[in-house]
Amino acid sequence: MASDKKLYTIDDLVEKASSYITKEEELQKIRDVFDYCKSKHEGQFRQSGEPYYYHPLTTAIILTTVYADCDTICAGLLHDVIEDCGTTKQELEDLYGPTVANLVNGVTKISKIHFSTENEALIEYYKKIIVGMSEDVRVIIIKLADRLHNMRTLWAKTEDKQKKIARETLDILAPIAHHLGIHKIKSELEDLSLRYLKPNVFYDIADKLNNTKLERDKVVNDMITSVSNLLKENNIEHEIKGRSKSIYSIYKKLEKGRKFSDIYDLLALRILVDNVQQCYSIIGMIHAKYKPIPKRFKDYIAMPKVNGYQSLHTTVFGIDGYLFEIQIRTHEMDEVAENGVASHWAYKEHKDLTQTGTNSTEAKLQFFKSIVELNEDKMSSEEFVNSVKNEILNNNIYVFTPKGDIFELPKGSTPIDFAYFIHTRVGETMVGAIVNDSIVPLDYELQDNDIVKINTNKNSPGPSKEWLNIAKTTRAKNRIRTFFTKGEKERYIERGKAEIEKELRKKKLGFNEFFNEENTQEIFKQAKVSDMNDLYLNIGNGKFSGAYVVSLIYKKEESILDKVVFKEIPKHVEGDVIVEGIDKIKVNLANCCNPVPGDEIVGYITKGNGISVHRRCCHNLAFLDNRMVSVSWNPEKTTNKFITSVFIYCKEYDKSLLEIMQKASTSNINIDSMRTNRKLDEIIYDVDIWVRDLDHLNNFIRDLENISYIEKVVRIIK
Ligand code: MN
């Protein structure tokens, strides 16, 4: 842990900054700002007894450890002058430019909140931090550096204050540092917080670490020599660091019931090399020489963590049978691991931070996206802060899409939460979920590393009220609630907006760039709409498609497929199924037997989810009581396709899959998903397909059964 025995000077700051800031005028600006800061805080002292200017100076020095740019360092030096010295934002702007002034103002806004109750104030404070961060991440990085120095000098405060500040640091600021990937600051904040929150535990662990230090250092050094020799023999240039686990991370493991003596990854080292190729070669060499512990190998290079962290991890039996946790990564990955979001700015091309602003790096982090989106949902500050605290900052699981995209969700999330996390539209059209190849109920609790596929049907009537009891995240619940409070028109507008956005993404067009003044007028004229909402409405209710709108501007690239005609909206937009005696009711086609028009069907009144329509032969009906109603297919509805499932039994044959897909395509049948079950000398394809009606399906089945190697095709009921 760093201590501040020696008082830093401006020369220390400039020396550290000059290791990555090369422009002489920027270094001079830092000196000027420091002089200004010192004169402003003249005569002020901190509770620790130091002259006040020493606090902003140390804050700025901490900022250089994460390669903050010149403006951020200047703002770090000035971060308390508006609040404590009566300086105005305008004055700062005149002296040092708008960027510095805005950053200082941003930091000031966060701290300056007075509310009636402490709880309210706290909530408002958290919200400011969180929202401030999504506006310009540099504001929060200054706040983190400020807090870190305050934590280092926390001994000067009363015990009451110490505990309060430490709790807040551990609850909000350390997790934020973690999500920004700024490991250095996160880890020191955690250790310092623990020291004030649970001093006994903290010093107990620190003592134990101290007592075993000599022994551990020797083993680690021997292991470093041994690994280093191995790499030299293989001509790999490398750097190896012994690594000490933070006290807080040990505390977390003890809390989970592990004994100090069993914490087998106390001994740790890190190997740094030049390229990814070498990382993978080294893991092979290490595993060949030292026996690895099963299941402890993690490949965060191929599967980076959500905060951008990349590395290979393994635990092996090292020298004298001691267990070692070994991390292998490139120098660049190491930079990202230590400095997170900050390293992206400065490490590669010494990019000017002002250009980065809020758009590139941060936008890539799901973390920011989640916060920004959450902030757009209408909810109280308290709800907002609680959901950020509980659902974004803490206790998360990682799940994958079938394509391997990784998503971070709160523990306890269900497929419904996942669907809404991807997009509201996915949530609203969700009809089922498949986790690791098996169909799961919607209340299934997602587990770490699950691969989740959401089945959607664009004709789905929307979520059921029951989902409110199943969903875990505030985001999903809010959106489900909104769905029910919103009128049909608003829903269409939203749907239309989502569709055009999707279309523009597909064509790699920027929204603002596409809807510039000129294009917008042209579109309004041609599509005969009055404003954007009107445009969205017409896309949402199916009058024309997003692709059509794009084609109005990009006519040349328009393909035949994109040309969508104005289709007549039927006078009474009823569902696919008519329920006798009832006019407006939500109807779902049961996904156990997947009825299609032409099937004999029967309705079942569910609890709170409208009417579920089954095939008359569905075995699930046997368990249902007398809540049946009679239903029939709507003869006017002919355009939709319906999903249903078949098993295709084949003799082993190489090209069977390809031919089945071709057959489907020529029969105008869409395959939604297909699973292959290989038996001894037989393959069974479990296929979900979209068909118009029973005739369409039966013709397809007949066609397939005419193929020599296909034995039979059976519709299935799950
Ligand atoms: Mn401060």
184 and 262 belong to one structural domain: no
In a domain, 515, yes or no: yes
Cα torsion 192, 198, 203, 206: sign = negative
In a domain, 394, yes or no: no
What's the CA angle centered on 507, arms 504 and 512, to 5 degrees? Answer: 40
Give mean pLDDT, residues 413-420. Answer: 93
188 and 44 belong to one structural domain: yes
| Beta-carbon contacts of residue 497 (< 8 Å; ≥ 6 apart) | 536, 539, 540
**Residue 691 sits in a domain of what CATH number?**
3.30.70.260
pLDDT at position 373 over 80: no
Of 4-8, 83-87, 295-299, least confident by mean pLDDT is: 4-8
pLDDT at position 429 over 80: yes
540 and 589 belong to one structural domain: no
What pLDDT score was predicted for residue 392? 67
pLDDT at position 170 over 60: yes
**Residue 65 sits in a domain of what CATH number?**
1.10.3210.10
| Beta-carbon contacts of residue 175 (< 8 Å; ≥ 6 apart) | 393, 394
> How far, in Å, is the centroid of ligand 1 from the Cα of 83?
10
Of 3-7, 191-195, 246-250, least confident by mean pLDDT is: 3-7
Give ion ligand 1 contacts, CB < 5 A.
80, 146
What pLDDT score was predicted for residue 265? 54
44 and 188 belong to one structural domain: yes
What pLDDT score was predicted for residue 374? 67
Give mean pLDDT, residues 540-565. Answer: 64
Task: Report the mean per-residue pLDDT for the chain.
Answer: 81
In a domain, 396, yes or no: no
> How far, in Å, is the centroid of ligand 1 from the Cα of 65?
17
What pLDDT score was predicted for residue 132? 63
Q: Which of 152-156, 435-439, 511-515 has the highest mean pLDDT?
A: 152-156
b/e map 118-147, b = 16+ CB within 10 Å = eeeebbbbbbbbbbbbbbbbbbbbbbbbbb
What pLDDT score was predicted for residue 16? 93
Q: Where are the alpha helices (DSSP H) in 443-545?
A: 467-470, 474-485, 488-506, 511-514, 517-527, 532-540
The reported pTM is 0.58
Q: What is the DSSP string of 278-308?
A: HHHHHHHHHHHHSPBPTT--EETTTS--TT-
302 and 343 belong to one structural domain: yes
What pLDDT score was predicted for residue 356? 36
> How far, in Å, is the centroid of ligand 1 from the Cα of 79?
6
What pLDDT score was predicted for residue 114? 43
pLDDT at position 292 over 70: yes
Q: Does residue 443 carry a catalytic annotation?
A: no
Give mean pLDDT, residues 427-450. Answer: 87
255 and 110 belong to one structural domain: no
How many domains does one find in the chain?
Answer: 5
In a domain, 384, yes or no: no
Choose between 652 and 61: higher pLDDT. Answer: 61
pLDDT at position 21 over 90: no
Of 12, 83, 490, 562, catalytic: 83
Of 141-155, 224-238, 485-499, 586-600, least confident by mean pLDDT is: 485-499
618 and 674 belong to one structural domain: no
In a domain, 307, yes or no: yes
In a domain, 176, yes or no: yes
What pLDDT score was predicted for residue 543? 77
> How far, in Å, is the centroid of ligand 1 from the Cα of 148?
10
685 and 536 belong to one structural domain: no
> How far, in Å, is the centroid of ligand 1 from the Cα of 81?
9
What pLDDT score was predicted for residue 403? 79
Q: Does residue 703 carry a catalytic annotation?
A: no
What pLDDT score was predicted for residue 545? 80
Which residue among 501, 526, 555 closes a domain? 555
What pLDDT score was predicted for residue 346? 43
Of 12, 50, 84, 204, catalytic: 84
Choose between 104 and 510: higher pLDDT. Answer: 104
Which residue among 314, 335, 351 closes a domain? 351
- Model confidence at 40, pLDDT cuts 50, 70, 90, reads very high
Q: What is the DSSP letter of 610?
A: -
b/e map 282-300, b = 16+ CB within 10 Å = bbeebeeebebeeeeeeeb
pLDDT at position 558 over 60: no
Containing structural domain, residue 156? 10-197
> How far, in Å, is the centroid of ligand 1 from the Cα of 109?
12
- Model confidence at 341, pLDDT cuts 50, 70, 90, reads low
- Model confidence at 368, pLDDT cuts 50, 70, 90, reads low
480 and 526 belong to one structural domain: yes
What pLDDT score was predicted for residue 505? 83
pLDDT at position 583 over 70: no
Nearest to 306 by CA among 397, 394, 406, 421: 406
In a domain, 410, yes or no: no
654 and 535 belong to one structural domain: no
Which residue among 322, 351, 380 closes a domain? 351
516 and 611 belong to one structural domain: no
What pLDDT score was predicted for residue 637? 64
- Model confidence at 335, pLDDT cuts 50, 70, 90, reads confident
β-bridge mates for residue 298, sequence order: 313
Of 288-297, 423-432, 556-565, least confident by mean pLDDT is: 556-565
In a domain, 442, yes or no: no
192 and 238 belong to one structural domain: no
